[in-house]
Chains A and B, each alone.
Chain A
Amino acid sequence: MSDLNGTRQLLQGNEAVVHGALAAGCRFFAGYPITPASEIAELFSILLPACDGTFIQMEDEIAGMGAVIGASLAGVKAMTATSGPGFSLMQENLGFACCAEVPCVIANVMRGGPSTGLPTSPAQGDVQMARWGTHGDHPIIVLALSSVIDSFTITAKAFNLSEKYRVPVILLSDEVVAHTRECVELPSTDEIRVVDRIRPSVPPDWYTPYEGDARGVPPMASFGDGYRHHVTGLIHDKQGFPTQNSSEIEAFHLRLAHKITRGFPEIQMSREFFLDDAEVAVIAYGSVARSSLRAVQDARKNGIKAGLLQLITLFPFPRGYVSPLLSQCRAVLVPEMNMGQISREVHRVNQTECRIVKHNRIDGQFITPTEIYKQLIKL
């Protein structure tokens, strides 16, 4: 638990990620310094020893991700944090975590890209990469942080989903969320729900490491607790051993996909503002959602029936919230600090006449309420 639970604090987004993670039971961090995510590593290095946890700075992000997976396999909740270039390096081992179903959380504090890009400017250019960055079909959950309090609560939620579904969870923050300081009321320990992975209860001889339960999620043994088993990034059978048998390969892929599909109603998260009677709406996430809220409030003052759907879950794409909104509104605006990475998802689920309008900034500047308002009144 975090010592700050239930108190009022002036915190930076990056610091709140650390406290949220500790509150959810995270006891291991491995990473590599990178702007604008470094404060996460720094604060973990200070706080983890006192709560019997471990911090280690590795030689690169590849190693950071490897160590996180190792720690999780040994039974400890673990995370890493990085920005675009480091997130690129993590993709291979991230795929391993998807394949071997190792719970872990990866915070990507987005900067402008591609390549070294704009290290100290905000962007949302890694959205599709967070979903599809590692090769091959794979399940993954991607959540967006929009504020300091989100950085606490959604980080804690990320650990819970990761543990429950045995899947890596990507947290997408951005430079604005990460470095903004806000006074926040942190939830008390009683208010924070902590989910732990289900461990096997059968005798070791009966343990089938990759046989899903009713939800499609296998109980997970830790290395060292008597359930000796094999973990591999090769496609494996229920025993965990490599297989070339096509029916086993297909069963493997389907179970991984279905465990997320089954949990979809719980995994898709959003917030709705003024949507009951909305004729036009903004669909936004991350720091842009906060600008959008102000724009929508201003529009309402001027008699426009506008609303906001703030996406917290980006993948699996929360079509359960987006599709009904598209049926309800004549137009939606999707402002993003990229060339349109979520607007293409909105297009994908659109089965109506609703007009989808993009508003994009890729100049390293934050999207202000004023510019969203200007677009909104044109819808």
Chain B
Amino acid sequence: MLRYEGKTVIELDVNGEKRTVTVRPSDILLDVLRDQLGLTGAKPGCRNGDCGACTVIMDGLPAKSCLVLAVEAVGRSILTVEGLDAGSPIQGAFVAKSAFQCGYCTSGFLMVCHAMLSKYPKPEEHVLEEWLQSNICRCTSYQEIRDAVKSIIQQ
């Protein structure tokens, strides 16, 4: 079993690049991404796993980066919103369907949608709801986010 004490240098695989960071055992992935790698797309909304604003994709599945220790992410493939780099159709769909207003929850929602669509290219309504229930948006009515996802399913 791996053991980390004090500050440790670890290597993370973020957006297809190997990145070296220095972490304490208690550091969460969210803070390391934001503070050490400048990847501020993932947002702290509650730091309690309840709101989803910090969602990233780990090994293909959405993960709340506030609930992941940085040391747990070693050896996993991490994708953040910066890694989409306009490469996911869900981004344009969010723009076209007004699926955000203040934009703070947006990265998290995009990552859940991206992961879901990778696994289920044509998700049924209940699948969509089940996946997206992990996140909260306070500005939109959710109808817009639903419409954004549906608009690319239909393509």
* Chain B binds chain A: no
- Give residues in A with beta carbon < 8 Å to B: none
- Give residues in B with beta carbon < 8 Å to A: none
